[in-house]
């Protein structure tokens, strides 16, 4: 079946509130060497998309300016040198941009097969959070069996993924969330204790739960507002892994003494600037270590809402409201 000459995509004519996004029509993306072209059936909504729309998270120079970092659909074209996929394969992929569109070109090394039994919506809810959690919590922070971890934002897409993966690999999980309902969701996913940060001091709870030892790892998306408290939560030789700055990027009057006294490691990363080879390495480990857990039903994406493509504005508003538990996914016709 020949490809169309044009496609629908979400246009961002300028930075601003959610309603600056509009549907537009334009040419299909060119497929470069090492890439595949995916006919998008579903696309995930993520916090970096919101930040890019607001003008605080610019796309890399060689990436599509169109929003969207994860897609699921059918391979309809192969770039030069691609041998690991064939036309008609069903894949989900971590995109470098361009996911809010009917067609998206992605590096083959960032694509994965749909887990057995999955549809486009569930597959589209996997790449961004699973790449991020695997890289930061397991590769960089080194979380292992028998350790303890505190996961902030436990009901976000990242949080729901991190809780499940940490438990699946034998760690004890504590999580923070902002309501009783969200705390219960964290427990249902595998947290041994969920902490309502609006009514409880998570530092005191962690000290009590761990008999003052602290946790081995903290996965944090808040940043400056939690920096000192995160240090207080860590055990000796612990690691703070920062993946976002929802509570600010600049921390004033921080006491660095705990880092030295407890031999702490502070690390962090963003996924988008990583090289193609680095992302391929993460992809390969996900296929080997995590996809079997997904296919066995031990780990699964939590999908909160599925909206049609033309309701992308509503999808972003829901993301910004923080009322969701899990992932928000756009479904294309």
85 alpha carbon, distance to own chain's centre: 24
pTM: 0.96
- Together in a domain, 86 and 173: no
pLDDT (0 to 100) of residue 27: 97
- Together in a domain, 140 and 110: no
pLDDT string in tens for the chain (333-residue length): 789 999 999 999 999 999 999 999 999 999 999 999 999 999 999 999 999 999 999 988 889 999 999 999 999 999 999 999 999 999 999 999 999 999 999 999 999 999 999 999 999 999 999 999 999 999 999 999 999 999 999 999 999 999 999 999 999 999 999 999 999 999 999 999 999 999 999 999 999 999 999 999 999 999 999 999 999 999 999 999 999 998 888 988 899 999 999 999 999 999 999 999 999 999 999 999 999 999 999 999 999 999 999 999 999 999 999 999 999 999 997
pLDDT (0 to 100) of residue 36: 98
pLDDT (0 to 100) of residue 316: 98
Tell how strand 327-331 and strand 35-45 pair up. Answer: antiparallel
Closest listed residue to residue 150, CA positions, set 138, 163, 165, 135 = 163
Number of domains in the chain: 2
CATH number, position 162: 3.40.50.720
**How far is it, in rounded angstroms, from Cα 62 to Cα 101?**
18
- Together in a domain, 249 and 136: yes
pLDDT (0 to 100) of residue 249: 87
- Together in a domain, 138 and 264: yes
Contact present, 220 and 141 (Cβ < 8 Å): no
Secondary structure letter of residue 13 according to DSSP = S
**How far is it, in rounded angstroms, from Cα 21 to Cα 15?**
9
Q: Domain limits at 163?
A: 130-268
**Residue 71, domain member (yes or no):** yes
CATH number, position 13: 3.90.180.10
**Residue 178, domain member (yes or no):** yes
């Amino acid at each position: 079946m020949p490809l169309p000459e044009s496609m629908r995509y979400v246009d961002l004519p300028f930075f601003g509130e959610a309603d600056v996004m509009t549907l537009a029509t334009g040419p299909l993306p060119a497929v470069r060497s090492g890439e595949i072209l995916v006919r998008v059936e579903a696309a995930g909504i993520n916090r970096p998309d919101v930040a890019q729309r607001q003008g605080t998270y610019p796309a890399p120079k060689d990436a599509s300016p169109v929003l969207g970092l994860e897609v699921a659909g059918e391979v309809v074209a192969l770039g030069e040198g691609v041998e690991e996929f064939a036309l008609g394969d069903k894949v989900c992929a971590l995109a470098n941009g361009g996911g809010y569109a009917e067609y998206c070109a992605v590096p083959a090394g960032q694509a994965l097969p749909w887990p057995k039994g999955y549809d486009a919506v569930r597959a589209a809810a996997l790449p961004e959070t699973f790449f991020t959690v695997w890289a930061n919590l397991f590769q960089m922070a080194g979380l292992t069996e028998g350790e303890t971890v505190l996961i902030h934002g436990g009901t976000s897409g990242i949080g729901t993924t991190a809780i499940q993966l940490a438990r699946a690999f034998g760690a004890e999980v504590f999580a923070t969330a902002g309501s009783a309902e969200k705390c219960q969701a964290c427990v249902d996913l595998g947290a041994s204790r969920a902490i309502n940060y609006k009514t409880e001091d998570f530092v005191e709870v962690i000290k009590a739960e761990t008999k003052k030892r602290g946790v081995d790892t903290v996965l944090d998306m808040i940043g400056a507002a939690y920096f000192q408290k995160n240090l207080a939560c860590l055990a000796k030789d612990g690691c703070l892994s920062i993946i976002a700055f929802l509570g600010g990027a600049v921390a004033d009057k921080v006491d660095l003494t705990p880092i030295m006294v407890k031999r702490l490691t502070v690390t962090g990363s963003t996924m988008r600037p990583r090289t193609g080879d680095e992302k391929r390495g993460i992809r390969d480990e996900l296929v080997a270590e995590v996809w079997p857990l997904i296919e066995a039903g031990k780990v699964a994406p939590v999908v909160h809402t599925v909206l049609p493509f033309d309701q992308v504005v509503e999808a972003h508003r829901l993301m910004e409201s923080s009322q969701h538990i899990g992932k928000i996914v756009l479904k294309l016709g």
